[in-house]
Amino acid sequence: MTSDRFITFTSSPVPRMATWDLDDVITALSEPRRQSFQSWSPERTHVPLPSREVLLRIVNLLRAALFPFHFGNPDLGETSTRYFVGHTLNEALQLLEEQIRREQYLIQPECQWQEQQIKAQARATVQAFAQQLPQFKTLLESDVVAAYRGDPAAKNLDEVLFCYPGITAITYHRIAHALYCLHSSLLARMIAEIGHSITGIDIHPGASIGQGFFIDHGTGVVIGETTIIGDRVRIYQAVTLGAKSFPRDESGSLVKGHARHPVIEDDVVIYSGATILGRVTIGQAATIGGNVWLTRSVPPGAFVSQAQVREEIFDAGAGI
């Protein structure tokens, strides 16, 4: 069939230079069993994992539902607000339910795939979460007012809500903390870490924080898992509320979950760079000066400066 002599069909390329041979690399990377994890349990791992991208989307949807004029649709009219909020919330909660289900599958200890139970539990968790949203809005508004009152550079509430990283951080935290309390601690941590990446403010979702909380500038702030913070507390950049030491059990493993971070009572102010370590209590309306290093409790109304804590440092300097 000579007429086909010039038929050409591009289905097998001959590359211009030697292609890389990745087969070995791919095989190594696809190797299912990681020998380094001797306790790896295959039964627990065949479920889809939560997704950071989806969690980011969930938080953005929740913010839009909480503050539709600032983070939703700026052209909303009176009537459409309700539909916008309802629709946005529905989307957020549907996505959240699926992520909660994924976490539940992952952490079930005995691999009994009681699918209906897990679904019902995820549904109940989302319900409980949703009921708290109006309270979130009130709390976040108290945070916005606190920032406005606490910073001479703040021009109006809109600026605070739009611009202050402390507001972003506390928004992420309040969402993450609610999930933490509802036993979705992995999702809570993932959400907290997104907030940390955006703001440089690292608040563990376990921390309990009252209303009217204000962090100014914020980069470098660290607030630990068992911290308790009262109402109207003000904190500046690079403040650490940390643990003093990590007890280990007889096998040498860290003891997890015990109360090891400070209690900050109402109306306390902590200036930039201060470090407070251990389960100590900073009494109501106390002020902690910049760069102070503290490992003991402070009475209400006290004013602690670097000079005052110097001896303590000399004595207990290794207080880490």
CA–CA separation, 41 vs 44, rounded Å? Answer: 6
The nearer residue to a copy of itself, 300 or 316, going by C-beta atoms, is 316
Residue 302 interacting with a copy of itself (CB under 8 A):
no
Stretch that binds a copy of itself, among 46-54, 227-235, 278-286 (CB under 8 A): 46-54
Residue 110 interacting with a copy of itself (CB under 8 A):
no
The DSSP symbol for 196 reads H
Least CB distance to a copy of itself at residue 187 (A): 10
Give which of 193, 217, 197, 220 is closest to 205, Cα–Cα.
Answer: 193
Residue 307 interacting with a copy of itself (CB under 8 A):
yes
Give which of 222, 191, 220 is closest to 51, Cα–Cα.
Answer: 191
Least CB distance to a copy of itself at residue 230 (A): 19
Written as six digits, the tokens of 14 are 């001959």
Least CB distance to a copy of itself at residue 209 (A): 17
- Give yes or no for a contact between 295 and 262, defined as CB atoms under 8 angstroms apart: no
Stretch that binds a copy of itself, among 50-58, 227-235, 278-286 (CB under 8 A): 50-58
Least CB distance to a copy of itself at residue 302 (A): 11
CA 36 to chain centre: 29
Least CB distance to a copy of itself at residue 231 (A): 14
Give which of 305, 313, 263, 306 is closest to 283, Cα–Cα.
Answer: 263
The residues pairing with 294 across neighbouring beta strands, listed in sequence order, are 276
- Give yes or no for a contact between 299 and 283, defined as CB atoms under 8 angstroms apart: yes
In the list 185, 281, 284, 297, the residue contacting a copy of itself (rule: CB under 8 A) is 185
In the list 108, 159, 281, 296, the residue contacting a copy of itself (rule: CB under 8 A) is 159
Task: Pick out residues in 202-261 that bind a copy of itself (CB under 8 A).
Answer: 202, 204, 206, 217, 219-220, 222, 224-225, 237-238, 240, 242-243, 246, 249, 251-258, 260
Least CB distance to a copy of itself at residue 284 (A): 18
Stretch that binds a copy of itself, among 21-29, 227-235, 278-286 (CB under 8 A): 21-29
For 92, 146, 225, the CA distances from 254, given in Å and listed in that order, are 36, 38, 15
Give which of 312, 210, 225, 309 is closest to 268, Cα–Cα.
Answer: 210
Residue listed under structure tokens 């916008």: 84
The nearer residue to a copy of itself, 123 or 296, going by C-beta atoms, is 123
